[in-house]
Amino acid sequence: MYRVARTLPRRAPTLLSQRNVSFSLPTISTLETVKSTQQDFKGLFSSETVNELWFKRGQQLVEGLNQSLEQASASSSESQSNNLLDIIAQTIQKPEHYGIYSYGSLLYNLQFFLESLKENSAEVKLSQSEPKDLLKTGNTTFGNIPADENLKSWLIDSFGSIEEFRNLLLNSAKAIKGDGLVWLVAESNLSQNILKQSPSITEPGTTKDPVYNNLAIVNTYNAGVVDDSLRSGQVNRLKLQKEANLQLEIDRLTLGTAEEAEFNTLYNDKKLLPVLAIDGSMRNYLLDYGVYGKQQYLENVWECIDWDVVSKRLPVRTKQFINSY
Amino acid sequence: MFRTTSRFVGQAFARNSKRSIHEVPKLRNEEKYIANGIEGLYTPSGFQTAWSDYQKFLTLNLTLHTNGTENELRTPYQILLKTAKQTTQQHIFHYASQAHNNHFAMEQLTDKTEASKTRPSRALMEKLAFQDIPDLETFRERMLLLADSSFGQGWVFLVELPDKSLRIMRCNNDGTPYYFAKNQSLDLNGGVDEGSFEYLNSLNVRAKSNEKDWTLPILAINCWDVSYIKDYGMTGKADYLANFWDCINWDVVNKRLFQV
């Protein structure tokens, strides 16, 4: 993806030795089965799409990542972590590592999405949608409701009902025009920091772990990551830096207000923990459903969500003191 | 006098109340492409996905979203200009901009044997030389490398600025070359460097002062998955781009350049 294959020379293979860890395509057992049996991913993808989506595109992302890591390690001595999340966190603020960051997070997002899925046991025939399908109202009858009571009640408390959650989730995915994913995330309390500092509430010995009390839906585009507390405030910081420089020049350095300082740290411990991802990019449905098939694809994805996986990813729920009444 | 006025009003009303829908524009040699694909680039089914189906998808959506509104009778080009600044009409902008770009890019393609008979005009190459692009090979590499090295969907344009100089411009997703604030050249995922920050600021300043943009596209390269997935697969972008270049009808491109 990063080079025009025919016109430009490939990178010399000697560079491989300079970095002793390199990535390989992770194993997703359901997809391995699809590949070895040459059968469809039941209810969602043809075996050809699975091959293209994961075994070819996934491999391409892995190669791109390895290549950019080699290039970077040739010029600097970054820590050689082999954990994708570490790599993303280390490179997200560094424009010079845009390639590593992008390949890393694209791979992470793709894997996260595909691992959220299971085959649909019901008989579903994949077919190309037609122009008239654009005029259809979405299907309001659906199955695959989460069985886990904890997850279900948390979803209902956060979104009102499973129907409303499903509508919001699928419509958010449908609204993505380019590349992107919709995520279900557990959201930590915004004002943790401030609460912690207030003496009446701080309990000695409490951990710094974020407290999750709400589920929310977030879209990311291209190589975006959910937890952007990692990166947030970059533009703002550049602006402040610039202003500070200007003020120094005219020798009138002033301190900010307490509110400004508070606002700047407000998002520092705001955490979004992803528990479910759905890829809304065109490539996922073009081959099996055609240009008009996004709605059908998304409805089929819903039926294939593996709620067991989602439950396992879920953090401990902390109910707010003041709940619904 | 009263009667003439009322007749005039009646006529005007009749004209305004005419319903029209956005349709897929007719390409030169379209029947041939539908039957045989574009030689050297698309099979018939690849052409169908990239043009017939996708353009129908865009124009149909455009009709659905503009029906009964002021944009109903406008062309996609007019609609994209009208909606570019409207934050609540970005979904309409998407369909208009995509429909226009896709048509613009498809118009410049032809069978490989036909394309090989055409050359970029001398005027075009002379202008490119001012941008440190001495020959066609360098031009090809610049355009295709930018197209290939970008993540996600988008377009790469060769554009003519108001001073008649040429630039290569990358537009992410549904970005348009016609209006600077909707070029969408930046990807703000990952680290933001100072150059991007300065560029963002300058966009703000220009937009606030209502600056007009007279940039015009000369050549477009379609980097959307939909334009190659059928024939080249999800990982076939590089091969597609190389073939795309070989099928450019330079006679069409030459005519788009400002003529003295």
Fold of B27-256: minor pseudopilin epsh fold (3.55.40)
CB-nearest to B229 from A1, A178, A283 is A283
CB-nearest to A93 from B191, B225, B230 is B191
Three-class secondary structure of residue A291 per DSSP:
coil
pLDDT for the residue A248: 60
The alpha-carbon gap from A261 to the nearest alpha carbon of chain B, in Å, equals 22
- Give the position of tokens 């405030």: A233
**A57 contact residues in B (CB cutoff 8 A):** 234-235
pLDDT for the residue B2: 42
pLDDT 10s digits, B196-221: 989 999 999 999 999 999 999 999 99
For chain A, residues classed under CATH 3.55.40.20 are 150-232+267-313
The DSSP symbol for A54 reads I
pLDDT for the residue A239: 79
Three-class secondary structure of residue A229 per DSSP:
coil
pLDDT for the residue B102: 98
CA separation for the pair A42, A299 (Å, rounded): 14
pLDDT for the residue A121: 86
Residue B212 half-sphere exposure toward CB, CA atoms < 13 A? 2
Size of interface A-B (CB pairs under 8 A): 141
The alpha-carbon gap from A89 to the nearest alpha carbon of chain B, in Å, equals 10
CB contact under 8 A, A238 and B151: no
CA separation for the pair B221, B44 (Å, rounded): 20
**B237 contact residues in A (CB cutoff 8 A):** 1
Q: What is the 3 state secondary structure string of B28-75?
A: CCHHHHHHHCCCCCCCHHHHHHHHHHHHHHHHHHHHHHHCCCCCCCCC
CB contact under 8 A, A97 and B191: yes
CB contact under 8 A, A178 and B174: yes
CA separation for the pair B50, A164 (Å, rounded): 35
pLDDT for the residue A277: 98
Answer whether B34's CB lies under 8 Å from B25's CB. no
Nearest-by-CA chain A residue for B56: A131
**B238 contact residues in A (CB cutoff 8 A):** 1, 3-6
CB-nearest to A4 from B173, B233, B242 is B242
Tallying the residues shown for chain B, one arrives at 260
The alpha-carbon gap from A321 to the nearest alpha carbon of chain B, in Å, equals 36
The alpha-carbon gap from B106 to the nearest alpha carbon of chain A, in Å, equals 17
CB contact under 8 A, B230 and A178: no
Q: How many helices (H) and strands (E) does chain A have?
A: 13, 3
CB contact under 8 A, B234 and A8: no
The alpha-carbon gap from B165 to the nearest alpha carbon of chain A, in Å, equals 27
The alpha-carbon gap from A285 to the nearest alpha carbon of chain B, in Å, equals 10
Report, as ranges of residue numbers, the positions in chain B whose pLDDT lies below 50.
Answer: 1-15
**B191 contact residues in A (CB cutoff 8 A):** 91-98, 101, 231, 234
| Architecture of the domain made up of A150-232+267-313 | 3-Layer(bab) Sandwich (3.55)
Give the residue extent of every domain in chain B: 27-256
**B172 contact residues in A (CB cutoff 8 A):** 178, 222
**A291 contact residues in B (CB cutoff 8 A):** 49, 53-54, 56-57, 226
pLDDT for the residue A39: 92
Nearest-by-CA chain A residue for B95: A177
CB contact under 8 A, B233 and A52: yes
CA separation for the pair A22, A263 (Å, rounded): 40
Angle at CA of residue A80, ends A78 and A82, nearest 5°: 140
CA separation for the pair B67, B61 (Å, rounded): 10
CA separation for the pair B38, B30 (Å, rounded): 10
Tens place of pLDDT per residue across chain A (325 aa): 444 444 443 444 444 445 556 889 999 999 999 999 999 999 999 999 999 999 999 999 999 999 999 888 766 655 567 789 888 988 888 889 999 999 999 999 999 999 999 999 888 889 999 999 998 888 889 999 999 999 999 999 999 999 999 999 999 999 999 999 999 999 886 555 445 554 444 454 444 567 888 999 999 999 998 876 666 667 777 777 777 766 665 555 566 677 766 666 666 667 889 999 999 999 999 999 999 999 999 999 999 999 999 999 999 988 765 554 4
pLDDT for the residue B60: 96
pLDDT for the residue A116: 96
Answer whether A113's CB lies under 8 Å from A181's CB. yes
